[in-house]
Amino acid sequence: MDSRSEVRPLAVLWKGVLLFLLVNLLVAAFPPESGTSVSLYNRLFAGRERLPFGETPAQSYNLSLFDLEAMFASHLIAGGPKPAQEYRVILIGDSSVWGTLLRPEETLAGRLNALNLTLCGREARFYNLGYPSLSLTKDLLLLDAAMRYDPDRIIWLTTLESFPLEVQLTSPLVAHNASRLDALMARYDLPFDPADPALERPSLWERTLIGRRRAIADRFRLQAYGVLWSATGVDQAYPLDYPRAQTELEADLSFHGFRPGELQEADLAFEVLEAGFVAAGDTPVLLVNEPMLISRGENSDLRYNFFYPRWAYDDYRQWLAQRAERLGWDYLDLWDLLPDPVHYTNSAIHLTPQAEAVLAETLVPAISQMPCP
Amino acid sequence: MTLTSILILIGLAACLGLLGRSRWRLLLLLAVSALAVYALQPALPVRFLDFWLPTATLALTVLGWALTAPPEQRLWRTNGPAAAVLAGVVLLLGLTRLFGLDLPAVGRPPRFLPILLAVTAVAVVTFLLVRLGRARRLWLALGIVFLLVLFLLLKSSPLTALVSAWLRTLNGQSAGLASPLDIRWLGFSYLAFRLLHTFRDRQSGRLPPVSLAEYAVYAIFFPALTAGPIDRIERFVADLRHPRPLDSQGWLEAGRRLTLGLFKKFVLADALGLIALSPANALQVHSAGWAWVLLYAYSFQLYFDFAGYTDMAIGLGRLMGIQLPENFNAPYLKPNLTQFWNNWHMTLTQWMRAYVFNPLTRALRSAGRPLPTAVIILAGQVSTMVLIGLWHGVTWNFAFWGLWHAFGLFVHNRWSEWARPRLTAVSVPWRMALQAGGVLLTFHYVTLGWLLFVLPDPATSWRVLSILIGGA
Amino acid sequence: MSDEVITQLTEYIAAEILKQPGRGIGPDESLLTSGLIDSFHLVDLALFVEDHFGVHLDDAELNASVFDSLNQLAALIRSRQ
C-alpha cells in the first residue's frame, strides 16, 4: 500500500487538537449572539409554569441556570403572541411568588388563575415570574426582560429582605448577568459599581467552549428535563418533611449589621424599585408588601420573625408607604394579613397552599380597581 | 466510573501497550490491575470495607488459581514474582496508613497487623491448596458452592442487609443503619463468573495450564473489571502471551473504540439518563405517550451505557494488544428474540449456554426416557433466562424478567419451527416486511421487559404497564 | 472424507433441524450467527456429531467463535477423529 494513503494516528490527533483549539478561540473571540434561544418548550414540551430553578435536578426535573433567554423561552409566557381575549398579568417577586414547596397550581399565580377573573372585559391570565432569591435588582432584571411579553398589568410582591444594598448583586441570577446589569445601570442610573467583585465577568478562557461547558450543558439539560416536566408536571422536589419556619427567635436586634436606629432609607435599594416602575412604562404596577409570619414565641418582643427585628421592619414599612404615597404608586401593605405560623411552611415568607388562596382573594379588589387602558 | 478515571486508565493502558513484549509487562499489568481493583471500588459506609472487598477480590483470584492450577504450573519459580506483586500491592496500600498518606480514590486501609495476617492466611491456604492431591475434585466442587453462596449473599437484598448488619456489629458500628447498599463489591459478579468458568473447565479437564500471573490478570483485567465482558481464559491467555503490537493500526482501532465508547456512555447514555424511566418518576407520569418516551429513553440508555463501557473495555484491551470479545452487536436491530439474545450481553449468554443450557439440554436429550422436545426447550430456556435474571439481583422482578424472556424465546422457537418450512417461498417484499415487523416487535418485547428490570417490584411494573396502555 | 462429513451434516441439519429435507446449505454459510440453528438444536447437532463421528463437542464449544459454518465444523471433527 502507498504509505501516504495510510492513516497516521498522530497526525489525526494533532489535527484534531488543533481544530478544537481553533474553534474554541474563535468562539471566545466572537461570542455567538445570545438571544437566539432555540427551545423545545411550548412546542414539543408544555411551557413551564414558573421560571426554571432547582438545586436537585434529578428529583425536581428542573435546574438553576443563568441564561435569561433560555429561562424565559421555557416559560409558558413565551408560548406565542398574546391572544386577543387575554388580559395578561405578570407576577414578580421572590421564592414566595415562585412557590417553594408549592405545586404550580398552589402558587399565588395558580390560585389567581383558578378564580377565572375578568379584567377590562378580557380573561385575566396570571403568569408566575417569581424567582427564588431576595434582591430587588433580580426582580428588576426579570421585570425588564418580561416587558417584551406585553403584560397588561404587573403585580410586584416584595419584602424588606430584598432591599439592602449589599444583597442586590449577590443573587446568582444578577451576578451571572453582568452585561444585562450594565445596560440596566446605564438606563436607570442605578447606584452600583460595574467593577463590583460580586459580578461575574468572564475571562477570555471562560468564553471558550470549554470555559462555557457548564452553561452549554445547563441549556441542554433544561431542554432534556422538558420531557419529565411534560410527562409528570413536577418541577420541584417535594420533601415529605422539612423544618418549619422558626418561631422561637434569637435575642438579636441587628439587621444586616445595622443596629437599632442605624438603618437609613439610603441603605435600601429604593432606586431599584423606582427603576422597576420606570421599566414598566405605561403598564400599571401593583406593589405589594408581602405577608409574613409574626411570631409570638421567644424574643418576639424584639423580632417579628427569623428575618426581621421589629425596629428595622417598622422603619421599612413607613418608608415604603411614604414613597408610594409620594410617587402615586398602587401599593398594598399586607404584612400582617396572615400572621399565624400555621400559614407558613419552611420560612417566614413561604405560605401554605391554603394561605396562598387567601392571599389571592385578598388581592382581587385591588386588581379589579386598577384602571383599564 | 468517572471520565477522569477512564482517561487515567487509557494512559496506563497505552504505557503498558508501549512496553511491547518486555518481560516486565505481565507483572506490571498485574500490578496496575490489582491497584485498579482498589481505586475503582466505591467508598462504603462500613468501616474499612472498601479496603477489604478489593483485598477479597485478589484473595479469591489467588485461591481460584491454586485450586485449578495443574502440577506443572505450580512452581514457585514461575509464580513467585506474581505472588509477590499481589501481596506487595496489598501490603503497600496497608502501609500508606502508617505513613499517614491519604491516597486519592483508594479506601482508607485498616491497621497493618490485620492486613498482614490476612495476606499470610491467604498465602498459607494457597500453599495447602496447591498441594492438594486427590481431594482436589471435592475442593473444586466446594469452591463452586462457595462462590454461588457468596453470590446469593451479595445479590439478595435481605441477605446483604444481614451481612452488613453483621459486619457493622464486628466493627462496633450501629447495625440499625445496615443497608444492602453497604456492600457494593465492585466487579464481583464478573469475577465470580470468570472463576466459576475456570473451576468448571478444570473439572471437565479443559482448562489450559496458566501461571498465577496469567490467571490473575484474566480474572481482574482492569478494562473488564467493572462491566465485563466475561472472556474465556484460553482465548484471553493466548492474546496475553502473544499480544498484538501497538502499531498505528492498533492506535487507530483502540482510538476508534474508545471514542465510540466515550460518546455512547458520556453523551448518549448520560443524556438519555436524564429522562429515562426510573423508580422515582415511574408513577408520576400522567400520560401514555410520555410514559412510552421515558421507557424508550431507558431502553436506549441501558444499551448505550453498557455497550459504551464494552467499547471502552475493548479499546483499552486493544491498546495492550488483547482483543476482548464483543458483548453487543446491534441487538435492537434483530428480527427476533433468539437473535436478540445472541447479540445482547453476548459473553454472559454464552457463559450461561456453556454451563447451564447446554449441559441441561444434553442431559434431558440423552435421558433414558426422553421428554417431548417442547418440554426440553421450555425447561432449558426457563432455567437459563431466570438465572440470567437472578445474576442481576435476587428479586422477584429479575426472576419475572427472566421468565418474560424465556416465554418469548419459547414462543419464537415454536413459531419458527412452524413457519420455517411454510415461509420458504415468500416473495422478497414480504420477507422484508416480515423482517421489519420482526425488528419492531422484538424491540418492543424487550423494551416492555425492561419494565420488570428497572422497577423494584411487580406491582409498580404493572401500574406503569397500565399507564403505557392508556389506563391511568 | 470432509465432503462426506459435510454431506452427512447437511442432510441431518436440513431434515431434522430445518425440517426442509433436500435443502442445500453452503459450506461457508453462517449457521449460528445467522440464527439458522438455535441453541437448542445446536445441542442436538452436538449429540448427532457424537453419535455419527465419535467426536465429543464440549458444551462450552457450542458457540460461533468455535465454529459457525459446515466447513469449520467439519474441520473440527476431522481434527479430533
The CATH code of the domain that includes C38 is 1.10.1200.10
What's the mean pLDDT when you consider all of chain B? 90
What's the mean pLDDT when you consider all of chain A? 91
Domain, as residue range, for C37: 2-80
Domain, as residue range, for B136: 22-241
Question: With contact defined as beta carbons under 8 Å apart, do B183 and B163 qualify?
Answer: yes
Give A59's contacts in chain B (Cβ within 8 Å). Answer: 280
| pLDDT at B20 exceeding the cut of 90 | no
Residue B249 in domain: no
Residue A3's pLDDT band, with cuts at 50, 70 and 90, is very low
Looking at residue C34, its pLDDT comes to 79
**Residues B225 and B356 placed together within one structural domain of the fold:** no
End residue of a domain, out of B241, B263, B293:
B241
Residue B389 to residue B386: CA distance in whole angstroms: 5
Residue A1's pLDDT band, with cuts at 50, 70 and 90, is very low
**Residues B200 and B340 placed together within one structural domain of the fold:** no
| pLDDT at B18 exceeding the cut of 90 | no
| pLDDT at B96 exceeding the cut of 70 | yes
| pLDDT at C1 exceeding the cut of 70 | no
Which residue type does B243 have?
A: P
- When pLDDT is averaged across residues B138-151 and rounded to a whole number, the result is 93
Looking at residue B388, its pLDDT comes to 94
| pLDDT at B110 exceeding the cut of 90 | no
Three-state helix/strand/coil letters over A160-199: HHHCEHHHCCCCHHHHCCHHHHHHHHHHHCCCCCCCCCCC
**Residues B171 and B45 placed together within one structural domain of the fold:** yes
CB contact under 8 A, B359 and C35: no
Q: In this complex, which of B274, B290, B294 lies closest to A221 when CB atoms are compared?
A: B274
Q: Which of A142, A126, A11, A129 has the alpha carbon at shortest distance from A68?
A: A142
Up-side HSE of residue A197: CA atoms within 13 Å toward CB?
0
The total of structural domains in chain C comes to 1
Residue B4 in domain: no
What are the pLDDT digits (tens) for B366-409? 887 878 888 988 999 999 999 999 999 999 999 999 999 999 99
Q: In this complex, which of A7, A9, A230 lies closest to B290 when CB atoms are compared?
A: A230
Residue B15 in domain: no
Gyration radius of chain C's alpha carbons: 11
Looking at residue A32, its pLDDT comes to 67
**Residues B128 and B27 placed together within one structural domain of the fold:** yes
Q: Is A233 on the interface with B (CB under 8 A)?
A: yes
What are the pLDDT digits (tens) for A265-301? 999 999 999 999 999 999 999 999 999 999 999 999 9
Give A12's contacts in chain B (Cβ within 8 Å). Answer: 252, 255
Residue B351 to residue B225: CA distance in whole angstroms: 17
CB contact under 8 A, C62 and B366: no
Residue B413 in domain: yes
Looking at residue A37, its pLDDT comes to 65
**Residues B335 and B194 placed together within one structural domain of the fold:** no
What are the pLDDT digits (tens) for B321-365? 999 999 999 999 999 999 899 899 999 999 999 999 999 998 988
Looking at residue A34, its pLDDT comes to 58
Locate the chain C residue with the closest alpha carbon to B416: C18
DSSP C65-81: TT--SHHHHHHHHHHH-
- Residue B159, burial from CB neighbour count under 10 angstroms (0-12, 13-18, 19+): middle
| Alpha helices, H only, B242-394 | 248-262, 270-273, 288-319, 337-343, 346-352, 358-365, 373-392
Mutation target vs A (from B248, B263, B294, B464; most A CBs, 10 A cutoff): B248
CB contact under 8 A, C35 and B338: yes
Residue B261 in domain: no
**Residues B228 and B346 placed together within one structural domain of the fold:** no
Q: Is C18 on the interface with B (CB under 8 A)?
A: yes
Residue B258 in domain: no
Which range among A102-106, B100-104, B201-205 shows the weakest confidence by mean pLDDT? B100-104
Measured in angstroms, the CA of B404 and the nearest CA of chain C are apart by 18
Domains of chain A: 10-369 (3.40.50.1110)
End residue of a domain, out of B210, B241, B272:
B241
Q: Is A12 on the interface with B (CB under 8 A)?
A: yes
Q: Which residues of B touch C (CB under 8 A)?
A: 201, 204, 206, 232, 235, 325, 336, 338-339, 342, 350, 353-355, 357-359, 361-362, 365-366, 376-377, 380, 413, 416-417, 420-421, 424
Measured in angstroms, the CA of B12 and the nearest CA of chain A are apart by 18
CB contact under 8 A, C47 and B362: yes
A-B interface: how many C-beta pairs under 8 angstroms?
50
Looking at residue A71, its pLDDT comes to 94
Which residue type does A186 have?
A: A
Q: Is A103 on the interface with B (CB under 8 A)?
A: no
Residue B280 in domain: no
Give C62's contacts in chain B (Cβ within 8 Å). Answer: 353-354, 358
CB contact under 8 A, A225 and B281: no
Residue A51 to residue A71: CA distance in whole angstroms: 6
End residue of a domain, out of B201, B222, B241:
B241
Looking at residue A33, its pLDDT comes to 60
Looking at residue B130, its pLDDT comes to 82
Looking at residue A2, its pLDDT comes to 45
- When pLDDT is averaged across residues C30-34 and rounded to a whole number, the result is 83
Query: In the sheet where A122-128 sits, what is the strand order?
Result: A118-119, A122-128, A86-92, A153-158, A285-289, A330-333
CB contact under 8 A, A7 and B248: yes
Give B425's contacts in chain C (Cβ within 8 Å). Answer: none
- When pLDDT is averaged across residues A159-179 and rounded to a whole number, the result is 93
Measured in angstroms, the CA of C63 and the nearest CA of chain B are apart by 7
- When pLDDT is averaged across residues B163-188 and rounded to a whole number, the result is 85
The total of structural domains in chain B comes to 2
